[in-house]
Structure 1
Amino acid sequence: MERAPDLFDAIVMAEERYRGEGYREGYAEGGRVGLSEGRRHGVSRGAGVGSEIGCYRGFAFTWKCLLSESTAEKDSKKRRMLDSFLGMMQKFPYADPTYAQLHEDLDRIRGKFKQVCSLLGVQPNFQVSPGSSTLSF
């Protein structure tokens, strides 16, 4: 014969049961919210990196065009440095966010940009604000 559920047991164990249910519901909701916030943050950071590299590429292509007509030896060194800089950006893994050395490669590109600016005699002025970042010369 089956026993009837103990009324006092249900009352005593209610706190434990509700705590468990609340934990499971909170964990599931946190996973959904975390995924959405993570995706939004990733898109924002990715757009910032893309914008930065796009600025560097535009800078390099512009200077390469400006120096293309010159035959001076010092300008050929500048063109080689610009070609090296453009090559680094060409190899950058834009489409692979899981690339293990993404930050290291980005730091190398930033360092090469500083070298190129020094060689060209250009002083970049970085101004980063919460809404946007600008680069002026």
Structure 2
Amino acid sequence: MSYQHILAAIDLSEDSQQIVQKAVALAKPLGADVSFVHIDVNYAELYTGLIDINLAETQHQALEASQKQLQALADKADYPIKYILIGSGDLSNELVDTIKEFNIDLVVCGHHQDFWSKFLSSTRQLMNCSPIDMLVIPLKD
């Protein structure tokens, strides 16, 4: 099978460069498009009590910081990046919607191989809902 549009799911950790490198290495010989996606936390959904901060401003600042980090990864990619996407909310729902909207046919993501990831794994969550192929890169901690 020849992939046409590869989506690198990036969490903006130090390991993000590995995910980008793998997506680009797969895309180059195929001439496939590469896009990035990062799903931010939706702060409004996390806290339902009274809080003395401006959630809209906090969300905007987080969005700008994420955009800068993703653009820095794109600049280092040595390959054209078609879309740099940022969403917020439920990771699974946002990713499935992105896959459909942008005609993605492969998702590349990482999986930390540590104690906590055995119990709290966003990659496992994605595997249970992804309608397309996934490449999971093991990330040693």
TM norm structure 2: 0.26
Structure with greater strand share of residues: 2
TM norm structure 1: 0.27
Structure with greater helix share of residues: 1
Higher relative contact order (CA 8 A, sep 6+): 2
Tell me which structure has the larger Cα radius of gyration: 1
